[in-house]
Amino acid sequence: MFLIRMNSQIPIVKAKNGREELNGEFIINMGNKLDIADANMFVLKNETHGYKELIVSYKTMYINTFNCMVVDLTDKLIIFRHESF
């Protein structure tokens, strides 16, 4: 599972070596070789309290686990993770 933060206004930039590169950064780079299904993504934003969070949930095939994680988009940290059978 990859979670990439990108600038939608300028998605490609010129690097120092002259090549074109994506204008983004990895927030989550989790590699596993399992298939996932029933994936959902929600953005929770509250300007009064000043937080912006991304909620990601998915089912892992073959081992039948349901995973849910909450990512703070301001600090780029996983603040909650749950896995159940």
CA dist 58 and 65 (Å) reads 9
Q: Are strands 24-29 and 2-6 parallel, antiparallel or unpaired?
A: antiparallel
Q: What is the pLDDT of residue 84?
A: 92
pLDDT in tens, 25-84: 777 777 666 787 888 888 888 888 888 898 888 888 888 899 999 988 888 888 999 999
pLDDT at 1: 66
Whole-prediction pTM value? 0.66
What pLDDT, on a 0 to 100 scale, did the predictor assign at position 82? 93
Q: For residue 24, give the amino acid letter.
A: G
Distance between first and last Cα of the chain:
19
Which pLDDT value is given to residue 32? Answer: 66
**Which of 4, 64, 2 has its CA nearest to residue 38?**
64
